[in-house]
Amino acid sequence: YFDTRMFGAVMSTKKFNAGQVRGAVQLTFARSVDPIFPAESSITRVALTNADDIKSGKATDEEARTGQMGRKAYVPYGLYIAYGFYTPSFAVQTGVREEDLKGLWESLINMWDLDHSASRGRMACRGLYVFSHESYLGNAPSNQLFEKIEIHRIDHSKVARSYKDYTVVFDEKMPEGVTLYKIVNSFKDVKIVN
Note the pLDDT tens digit of each residue in 24-61. Answer: 999 999 999 999 888 888 887 776 666 565 555 555 55
d(CA 12, CA 105): 29
d(CA 85, CA 137): 13
User: What is the pTM assigned to this prediction?
Assistant: 0.79
Minimal CA–CA distance to 128: which of 151, 148, 105?
A: 105
User: Are 168 and 185 contacting, i.e. CB atoms less than 8 angstroms apart?
Assistant: yes
Note the pLDDT tens digit of each residue in 126-140. Answer: 999 999 999 999 999
d(CA 165, CA 154): 6
d(CA 112, CA 109): 8
